[in-house]
Amino acid sequence: GSVLVELILAFQDSAAAHNLKTQFDRLKAEAGTYNLTISEVSVIDAPFPSSAQPGSGVPGWGIALLVLVCILVALAIIYVIALAVCQCRRKNCGQLDIFPTRDAYHPMSEYPTYHTHGRYVPPGSTKRNP
């Protein structure tokens, strides 16, 4: 059977299109020794499109501005969270304290505990009973 092959080769800049065409034409005769038949050879000089073309994409100052905005937004979010935490701590101060650091006011704390040798002095009274 026969095989039909379409082949595309890419060379570096040092290879000129007319030099490659003459080399392929010269080697076409050698293909017969290997039972190969080359019907057509075409050589085209075409530039390769690069992935990073100058003038396209985002400029450097645009990226720097985007980074600056992201940093400012992150700082603003952290500031809002800190304000919310401080405000919540101020509103709910002491509500969920299991072991409060300050003594809470209790009305019975004004009355002294029972002693066997002493007289009762009601709260707010400066005069003692004899």
- 40-44, long-range: CB < 8 A, 24+ apart: 43/17, 43/18, 44/17
Question: Is the predicted pLDDT of residue 13 greater than 60, yes or no?
Answer: yes
* Tens of pLDDT, residues 32-66: 788 888 777 777 777 766 665 566 688 889 999 99
Q: Rounded distance, CA 16 to CA 119, Å? A: 121
* Tens of pLDDT, residues 96-126: 555 555 555 556 666 666 666 666 666 777 6
Instruction: Quickly count: other Cβ atoms within 10 Å of residue 24's Cβ.
Output: 15
* Tens of pLDDT, residues 24-38: 888 887 887 888 887
DSSP symbol at 47? P
Question: Is the predicted pLDDT of residue 80 greater than 90, yes or no?
Answer: yes
Q: Rounded distance, CA 37 to CA 43, Å? A: 18
